Chain A
Amino acid sequence: MTPFAYERAADAASAVARVSGHPRAAFLGAGTNLVDHMKLGIAAPELLVDVSRLPFDRIEPLPGGGVRIGAAVRNSDLAADLTIRARYPALAQALLAGASAQLRNLATTAGNLMQRTRCVYFQDLTTPCNKRTPGSGCAAREGYTRYHAILGASEHCVATHPSDMAVAMAALDAVVVVRDSLGERRIPLVEFHRLPGDAPERDTVLEHGELITAVELPALPFAARSAYRKVRERASYAFALVSVAAALDIADGVVREARIALGGVAHKPWRAARAETALRGAAPTVENFRAAADAELALAKPLDGNAFKVALTRNTVVATLRSLANGDGR
């Protein structure tokens, strides 16, 4: 591991100033992904500015009925929060489906958003990877693609975003609050992560030195009927092959509103806007759920090794929506 200086930030303004002023500086949350990357040689910051003790550790109600989640709230505390469990069950379920309990006790909200792909080629310094070393090529495209994208990929990168939490937040219309030396800006979560295009080294739209301070959830009353379903190779402690976060507002036998986001299928949490449009005004039937999934998956471009994910995604969307419509929760 390359030597680095460590500083514990006194406040957000000085943390932003320190990282902005040093091109090889990085913010440190719990480090459950960053420290691993430093061990692997994927990341080599010269200065770590620890922001995990800043006073962003609260979950607070917002005027208008939403909730503000501090950037340093631990994943386990967010999943256990009674308001989140009752009003945004998809988010609690997504958090509980991610990592292990001893990692969730450390991992922060902001760190979860900033975690990087688990693409095996990205994590292996001996293989080409455009995300790790821009211009070096992509070993995944012709390689082991079980965990790779079927939506929104580019010739340069087929990696997927590994977060469960972010998929639920994408479905729940979350907004990421960030600050730099000039002030604050608010980024809808669905615009926070990028598609790879010709710059896969950039996971998010954040500029160097911008600090996440909170994630806000809008009131979204029908999210009380929301769920997260994750399909993986084993029953626990594994990344998603495919996951679905969804919320349904059903009244008088028709879907009034729907929120659907997909995980494990793209470089970012994939908000399934076409599927939502197809569902609005439709009866909550399996046929219509399937048609909505197909509307989204018409865009899919699977690789040789992951064509099964198209059918898996369709079936997982249908199963999630059906259980929501039946009131099963998940």
Chain B
Amino acid sequence: MDAQITLLVDGARRSLTVDTRTTLLDALRDRLGVMSPKKGCDHGQCGACTVLLDGRRATTCLALAVAYDGAAITTAQGLADGSILHPVQQAFLDHDGFQCGYCTPGQICSAVGMLAELKAGHPSHVTKNLTAAPTLSDNEIRERMSGNLCRCGAYVNIVAAIRQAASS
């Protein structure tokens, strides 16, 4: 069964007809040609499909596109300001925060969302004092990024990249 939806993807209005079974991830990749969100596990377990959905990081493989009619989506390829990379993107380059690169767009969107959550004072599982504003540490970065798997094991450099981006 088909449905007509409109998405704001990386600043562009995109209208399309989708089968109701289409996930947001498949709508972006297969229908709109937006290839930076990646299909890893397709079951919400790896984080490769992470985008910013109405400003918050979210997996797109378990989201039905039809349920997000009207949503604003920012993918990793929409983060740069023209030729100037987003600070998180630049930090991943500076610290070699990847090997094969497949998980990287999801890692970067997740890191951007994570830094916003931290700025808003949201605690994490490793935050000792729940009633105080959390402060960034490597332990906090690791916990907050645990939803993004990297099978190459570039975690050490990913943590370093996020530490740099947080201080820029």
Contacts and interface: CB of A to CB of B under 8 A. Distances in A.
A236 B148 CA distance: 11
Interface residues of A, number: 39
A83 B121 CA distance: 14
Q: Would you call the interface of chain B mostly helix, strand, loop, or mixed?
A: loop
Given A85-B131, A100-B47, A236 B125 contact: yes
Contacts of B53: 105-106
Nearest to B147: A100
B147 A80 contact: no
B67 A101 contact: no
A54 interface: no
A246 to B, nearest CB: 16
A102 B147 contact: yes
Contacts of B113: 101-102, 105
Interface string A62-83: 0000000000000010011010
A222 B21 CA distance: 47
Q: Would you call the interface of chain A mostly helix, strand, loop, or mixed?
A: mixed
A102 B125 contact: no
B125 A93 contact: yes
Interface string B133-168: 000000000111011100000000000000000000
Given A30-B63, A102-B110, A92 B130 contact: yes
Interface size for chain B: under 10, 10 to 19, 20 to 34, or 35 or more residues?
A: 35 or more
Given A35-B23, A39-B43, A105 B56 contact: yes
A32 B44 contact: yes
Given A80-B121, A103-B44, A237-B147, A6 B3 contact: yes
A36 interface: yes
B1 A35 contact: no
Contacts of B64: 6, 28, 31, 35, 48
B116 to A, nearest CB: 11
A236 B63 contact: no
A5 interface: yes
A1 B21 contact: yes
B33 to A, nearest CB: 23
A201 to B, nearest CB: 22
B62 A105 contact: no
B20 A5 contact: yes
Given A6-B67, A99-B147, A36 B44 contact: yes
Contacts of B42: 39
B89 interface: no
Given A5-B1, A105-B57, A236-B146, A31 B117 contact: no
A97 B125 contact: yes
Interface string A208-252: 000000000000000000000000000111000000000000000
A145 to B, nearest CB: 22
B69 to A, nearest CB: 8
Contacts of A236: 125, 142-143, 146
B62 A101 contact: no
Contact of A86 (B43, B44, B120, B131): B131
A200 interface: no
Contact of B63 (A5, A79, A106): A106
Interface string A1-31: 1011110100000000000000000001011
Interface in B27-58: 42-44, 47, 50, 53, 56-58
A52 interface: yes
A329 B125 CA distance: 13
B122 A28 contact: no
Interface string B2-31: 010000000000000001110100000000
Best-buried of A6, A38, A93, A235 by chain B (most CB within 10 Å): A6
A233 B3 CA distance: 42
A28 B57 CA distance: 20
Contacts of B1: 3-6
A110 interface: no
Interface in A23-60: 28, 30-32, 35-36, 38-39, 48, 50, 52
Interface in A117-165: none
A32 B120 CA distance: 24
Given A4-B1, A79-B123, A100-B148, 17 more contacts: A1-B21, A6-B67, A28-B64, A28-B67, A36-B44, A36-B62, A52-B67, A80-B121, A82-B131, A85-B123, A96-B123, A99-B147, A100-B47, A101-B110, A102-B50, A106-B53, A235-B146
11 contacts: A6-B3, A8-B67, A31-B62, A38-B21, A48-B64, A85-B131, A102-B50, A105-B57, A235-B143, A237-B146, A237-B147
